[in-house]
């Protein structure tokens, strides 16, 4: 198991537990968080921890899948989030430094949508 993989596991478990001190230990001081869909960026550990701590409403995260290559400085996760009454999925990409701390976090929160007509005979809806 790579150091960054362990760090990302700690990141998600600390976020779910609202353990902001542990969460902060997973991040480099100059971490950059990006949300491409809203074109938002947060720079720095303190700002990113505060962003998560102050996020409105109640929320819960569970990790469906975590992918990390041995020796790589990249990790990807697929998470299930519940925010209030809304359920959603996100794909998050992490980059780490030599110490195994997270240097970049890029979150994609895709919106669910109805598939186009004409392929009902080929698919199963769930």
Cα–chain-centroid distance for residue 26? Answer: 13
Residue 55 lies in a domain: yes
- Give the chain's domain count: 1
Q: Kindly give, in sequence order, each residue whose CB lies less than 8 Å from that of residue 87, ignoring residues fewer than 6 positions away.
A: 80, 81
Residue 83 lies in a domain: yes
Q: What is the CA radius of gyration of the chain?
A: 16
Residue 45 lies in a domain: yes
Q: Say if residues 72 and 66 touch (Cβ distance below 8 Å).
A: no
Residue 117 lies in a domain: no
**Full pLDDT tens readout for the chain, 126 residues:** 479 999 999 999 999 999 999 999 999 999 999 999 999 999 999 999 999 999 877 899 999 999 998 778 999 999 999 988 899 999 999 999 999 999 999 999 998 889 899 999 999 988
Give residue 92's domain range.
3-108
Q: Say if residues 92 and 19 touch (Cβ distance below 8 Å).
A: no
Q: pLDDT at position 33, please?
A: 98
Cα–chain-centroid distance for residue 46? Answer: 17
- The answer to pTM > 0.75 is yes
Residue 125 lies in a domain: no
């Amino acid at each position: 198991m790579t150091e960054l993989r362990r760090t990302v596991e700690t990141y998600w478990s600390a976020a779910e537990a609202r353990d902001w001190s542990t969460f902060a230990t997973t991040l480099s001081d100059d971490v950059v968080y990006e949300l491409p869909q809203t074109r938002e960026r947060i720079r720095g550990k303190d700002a990113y921890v505060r962003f998560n701590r102050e996020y409105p409403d109640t929320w819960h995260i569970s990790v469906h899948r975590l992918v990390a290559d041995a020796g790589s400085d990249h990790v990807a996760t697929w998470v299930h989030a519940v925010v209030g009454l809304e359920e959603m999925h996100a794909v998050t990409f992490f980059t780490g430094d030599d110490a195994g701390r997270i240097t970049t976090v890029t979150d994609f929160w895709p919106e669910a949508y109805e598939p186009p007509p004409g392929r009902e005979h080929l698919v199963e809806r769930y």
